[in-house]
Structure 1
Amino acid sequence: MGNAVELEVGDRTVRLSNPEKVYFPERGLTKLDVAQYYLAVGEGVLRGLRDRPTTLERYPDGVDGESFFQKRAPKYLPDWIPTAHIAFPSGRSADEMCPTEVAAVLWAANLGCLTFHPWPVRRADTDRPDELRIDLDPQPGTDYGDAVAAAHQLHELLDGLGLRGWPKTSGGRGLHVFVPIEPRWTFTEVRRCAIAIGRELEQRMPGRVTTKWWKEERGERIFVDYNQTARDRTIASAYSVRPRPHAPVSAPLRWEELDSAEPRDFDIVTMPARYAELGDVHHDMDERRFELDPVLELAERHERDHGLGDMPYPPDYPKMPGEPKRVQPSRAKREE
């Protein structure tokens, strides 16, 4: 595998073991290639991770090997990487690492971390999200172009609510849109806002967008995955490497780039050149935080005028107050 190398990252020196280990066999890309990619986009990836409890998606033997999600801070975490105590819906809790410098990203990459999954909170307050995250997930029969159409409608909707969203590719066919918010609301309230926005998109794009939780009901539509805003649900960070054979990354975009962008064009080989030319196109994302009151008012109108209340949580969650029956529709019919 070759000897270890040392990478200078700011004021730190990060040791990279087995740098020639192949992580992406289809393209012959190695652990060192991944580390050098994260070094090239360091300030951009750190912008999305800074002070956030972060779950590591690790592939110690590359994308063809076994993988796992590591929520608890790894053993031997350096004392210069802080942690935050977080609570899971199950009632359990853990300390997660919270990157505050680029060297922490490289340290995790040495463990085989390809994708970083930050919580939408900061370590100063782990119960109040400071981002509303909207996941536009293409279902079978749809593609990136369908997600783009939904994103344009979402852009108009957010503008009308006095909000600004920041789009990025998922690293696959989908799109993520993040809205910086004041950390005033609970996970439950932020999730309610994601549901309200999803329902409004459904009304604007009938037959093309859905919030249906059960896959059998979604059809060939873009699914607004509102449960990605539930506690302990995370979305890959901007610039994260995704575990697919061609080594794609989650690429921040400007709104005007959506139509011409090709998600496969953004990978660990091509992104450094884009970053060197344009920098982080979301660099000013944290300069202003928005209020959710207009979206909560929209949710109240949905409930008052149309009887649209809460929606099902993921199956591993405890039953939540006001949640409808969590039973797959086809199964419910069989049991009647």
Structure 2
Amino acid sequence: MATTAVQLDVAGIEVRLSSPDKIYFAELGISKLDLANYAIGVGEGFLAGLRMRPTTLERWPGGVREGMRMATRADGKGDAFYQKRAPEKRPEWVDVAEITFPSGRKATAIIPSNLATIIWAMNLGTLRFHPWPVTAPQVDLVDQLRIDLDPQPGTDFADATVAALELREVMGELGLEPYPKTSGGRGIHVFCMIEPVSFVDARHAAIAIGRELARRMPDRVTVDWWKENRGERIFVDFNQMARDRLMASPYSVRPVPQARVSAPLTWDEVPQVHPDDFTVVTMPQRYRERGDVWAPLYSSKPQSVEQALRRYELGLSMGLTDMPYPPEYPKMPGEPPRVQPSKQKRDDSQYSSPSV
């Protein structure tokens, strides 16, 4: 294997790959070149999930080894980090767009418009790509509704699949056509193309959907933002629809020893698969045999979230409120106090989920 930089022809664009033999997943012997070849092998599907969407890069320049950790907001030290702003030095074929963070600050983010941009980012050590649910140039209008089914301690992927199948019914009743994928971990992500709406409306639609799912499956699903209230249930993380709160793209590589990937699924597959089935090693063969099973998502007609928003408004009329935003957000209109229920001195019944 080459030990010096190589030039890859990526759909007609030359991309330089430095240190192609550098090992990123030691247990599997997967090198940077292997990762690039993986991305090229699933390229059409990989790009479809990122095309023209502002994208945060999750960079692991030292590869994935035991004991490595991600830098946090509180502690900037770590072996990996999120890069939200486009590098100043970048090829001319790497497109960018201006985005606005919750604080009101603006930044320039990459918006992949070609497969070469993905390979270029992988050369920087990027494993997971986190696209915004918007498409440039309309970067303030959400056109992709995303529901995150997040297993809590005591639950696992099998529990998430049960919730996902019921979620499909809920969304269908609200006029939405959802598509599932593995998160690369224990959870399931469900995406849907929608008519463009504001971030606030998209989040409210996700809250309404989550509340209805929790109403139907109270012993299995929760929308409680506070961990102390979730129990051994699947958490519908509605705040993943808040501005700058992102999910991994389809085909992104999770930084775990197995090199699992976020795998698009058909609904028939949901109760039959396990996250370990989909890795950098196994996904290319699946892709050769089946192509991108999410191609119908991208060609589907965008649907309205109006029914979900009416369900949200009905909840307000019955005494519910908005839900807490992530801690880095400024105080939002209609938001309840960001104090966990065990520390509140007032009635916290607003956190319950009556039937709506």
Q: TM-score range by the shorter chain?
A: over 0.9
Instruction: Give 1:286 shift.
Output: 2.2
Aligned to 2:8: 7
Aligned partner (choices 285, 307, 328) of residue 297 of structure 2:
285
CA distance in 2, matches of 1:167, 1:333: 40
Q: Does 1:62 align with 2:39?
A: no
Q: Structure 1 CA distance, aligned partners of 2:194 and 2:305?
A: 7
Q: Distance in 1 between matches of 2:226 and 2:256?
A: 26
State the one-letter code of the partner of 2:182.
Answer: T
Within the candidate set 305, 310, 322, 2:322 is matched to 310
Partner of 2:141 in structure 1?
128
User: Which residue of the partner structure matches residue 298 of structure 1?
Assistant: 311
CA–CA distance in 1 between the matches of 2:340 and 2:257? Answer: 33
Gaps of 5+ in 1: none
Q: Which residue in 1 is equivalent to 2:189? A: 176
Could you tell me how far apart the structure 1 residues matched to 2:192 and 2:293 are? 15
Q: Give the aligned partner of residue 24 of structure 1.
A: 25
For the pair 1:91 / 2:92, whether they are aligned, the reply is no
1:150 maps to: 163
TM-score, normalization by structure 1: 0.97
User: Alpha-carbon deviation of 1:42?
Assistant: 0.5
Please name the residue that 1:274 is paired with.
286
* C-alpha distance in 2 between matches for 1:223 and 1:251: 20
Q: Given the alignment of the two structures, is residue 234 of structure 1 paired with residue 246 of structure 2, yes or no?
A: yes
Q: Deviations over 1:61-110 (max 9, x none)?
A: 10135100000001311111111100001121100000011111001000
Supply the distance in 2 between the matched residues of 1:22 and 1:91 (Cα, whole angstroms).
39
The range that moved more, 41-50 or 62-71, is 62-71
Counterpart for residue 211 of structure 1: 223
Distance (Å, rounded) in 2 between the aligned partners of 1:280 and 1:333: 52
Q: Report the Cα offset of residue 141 of structure 1.
A: 0.3
**Code of the aligned partner of 2:128:** T
1:199 is aligned to 2:200: no
Instruction: Report SS of the residue matched to 1:132.
Output: strand
Letter in 2 for 1:246: Q
Letter in 1 for 2:327: P
* Cα deviation code 1:92-144 (max 9, x no counterpart): 11000000111110010000000000000011111100001000000000011
Deviation at 1:284, TM superposition (A): 2.1
- Give the match's secondary structure for 2:285: helix
Instruction: Give 1:107-122 correspondences, 5 Å limit.
Output: 107-122=120-135
Corresponding residue of 2:50 = 49
The alignment's TM-score, normalised by the length of structure 2, stands at: 0.92
Output the CA distance in 2 between the equivalents of 1:32 and 1:96: 25
2:233 is aligned with 1:221: yes
Q: Compare 86-95 and 270-279 and name the one that shifted more.
A: 86-95
Taking the aligned partners of 1:48 and 1:232, their CA distance within structure 2 comes to 17
* Cα deviations by residue, 1:184-223 (Å, 9 ceiling, x for unpaired): x110010000000000001100121001111111110000
1:333 deviates by 5.0
The letter for the 2-side match of 1:215 is K
The code of the aligned residue for 1:289 comes to P
Is 1:167 matched with 2:180? yes
Question: 1:13 Cα shift?
Answer: 1.1
Distance 1:36 1:74 in 2: 23
Once the two structures are superposed, what CA deviation does each residue of 1:236-270 show, in whole Å capped at 9, x if it has no partner? 00010011111000000000000111110100000
In the other structure, the counterpart of 1:36 is 37
Query: What CA distance in whole angstroms lies between the structure 2 residues aligned with 1:332 and 1:33?
Result: 52
Matched residues in 1 for 2:304 and 2:90: separation?
36
The equivalent of 1:256 in structure 2 is: 268
Counterpart-to-counterpart distance in 1, 2:104 and 2:226? 26
The one-letter amino acid of 1:49's match is L
The structural deviation recorded for 1:323 is 0.2
Distance, in Å, in 1 between the alignment partners of 2:143 and 2:159 is: 28
The whole-number CA distance in structure 2 between the counterparts of 1:140 and 1:213 is: 15
Give the % identical residues: 58
User: Alpha carbon RMSD of aligned pairs, Å?
Assistant: 1.3
Take 1:333 and 1:106, find their aligned partners in 2: how far apart are those partners?
53
Paired residues, what number?
333
